[in-house]
Amino acid sequence: MLDKENILTKIIPKLKKLYPNEGIILATYKRNRTLTIIFKEESYLFIQKGYENKSYFVKPSQLKKQLKKVLKTEFPRSRKIRVYPLREQDFLQNLKKL
């Protein structure tokens, strides 16, 4: 679990090191709201589940700005955020369930 204040400085370097179809899941303490970020070939796929349920692509140049906006929307009162790695195998298994 990471402090919300430090999340951008910790997560952005991890996101830039990801291989295609790998990602990170950010969740609230109670795990009732999540943000899944998956790296695709030239962009990041954001999947929000919580206050807003939507998915969209973000260019690497807009990553920090969009992440900041989504954190404000999905985790407004959270102090701690859970961080889980998402590997390619996990992504493919979750895709089959959909």
State residue 93's pLDDT score: 63
- Locus of tokens 């179809």: 21
Domain of residue 46: give its range. 2-97
State residue 41's pLDDT score: 87
State residue 86's pLDDT score: 85
**pLDDT by position in tens, the chain (length 98):** 889 889 999 999 999 999 988 999 999 988 899 999 999 989 999 999 999 899 999 999 999 999 999 999 999 998 999 999 987 666 556 555 54
What is the four-CA torsion angle of 7, 13, 14, 16, rounded to 10 degrees? 130
**Bridge partners, residue 26, by sequence:** 35, 83
Domain count, the chain: 1
State residue 21's pLDDT score: 87
